[in-house]
């Protein structure tokens, strides 16, 4: 049986494409006692409110038709953001050479956050160049990898 996020991805991805966008991620999470279904979009030049509105209206109608979620939830559509998390292998390929922040579950050499440049991705293991040092984090160590905007 497919997970809610997979069902919603299958519904929303074509709608995002029809509107000139890419579906970046789907989240279905519980926060403060309320369920949230969130779609994150991306496109060359950035996402604006009109993109979010167009995708939201159409996907909302599809969700009403298919009704893949029992109970109530809040539905949100937004930009993936400049400091978006990298999750899929294709995300890592696309942003190879970019500034990232790696967060680990447990301290490594007394730290849990490592800013650097993404230099590799192999079956969940992440490699970065951090302060002139090459670092590799195994999949089980990595809590989050996200893009990092440098000013």
pLDDT in tens, 21-33: 999 999 999 999 9
Please state, for a pLDDT cut of 70, what percent of the chain lies above it: 100
> Total domain count for the chain?
2
User: Bridge-partner residues for 124, per DSSP?
Assistant: none
Q: What is the DSSP string of 82-100?
A: TTPBP-SHHHHHHTTTSEE
Domain boundary among 29, 57, 79: 79
The token duo for 137 is 């984090």
Task: Report pLDDT for 125.
Answer: 96
Segment 99-128, tens digit of pLDDT: 999 999 999 989 999 999 999 999 999 999
Q: What's the whole-model pTM score?
A: 0.84
Q: What is the residue range of 100's domain?
A: 89-147
- HSE value, Cβ hemisphere, 13 Å, CA-based, for 36: 13
Give per-residue pLDDT as tens, 78-97.
Answer: 999 999 999 999 999 999 99
Tell me what the mean pLDDT of segment 117-141 comes to. 95
For residues 148 and 112, give the distance between their C-alpha atoms in angstroms, rounded to a whole number.
16
Residues 66 and 10 placed together within one structural domain of the fold:
yes
């Amino acid at each position: 049986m497919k997970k809610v996020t997979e069902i919603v991805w299958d519904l929303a991805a074509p709608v995002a494409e029809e509107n000139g966008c890419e579906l970046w991620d789907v989240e279905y999470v519980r926060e403060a006692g309320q369920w949230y279904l969130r779609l994150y979009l991306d496109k060359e030049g950035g996402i604006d409110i009109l993109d979010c509105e167009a995708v939201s209206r159409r996907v909302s109608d599809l969700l009403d038709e298919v009704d893949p979620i029992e109970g109530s939830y809040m539905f949100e559509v937004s930009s993936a953001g400049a400091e978006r998390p990298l999750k899929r292998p294709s995300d890592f390929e696309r942003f190879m050479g970019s500034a990232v922040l790696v967060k680990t579950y447990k301290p490594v050499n007394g730290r849990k956050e490592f800013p650097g440049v993404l230099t590799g991705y192999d079956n969940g293991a992440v490699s970065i160049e951090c302060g002139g040092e090459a670092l590799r984090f195994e999949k089980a160590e990595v809590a989050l990898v996200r893009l990092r905007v440098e000013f």
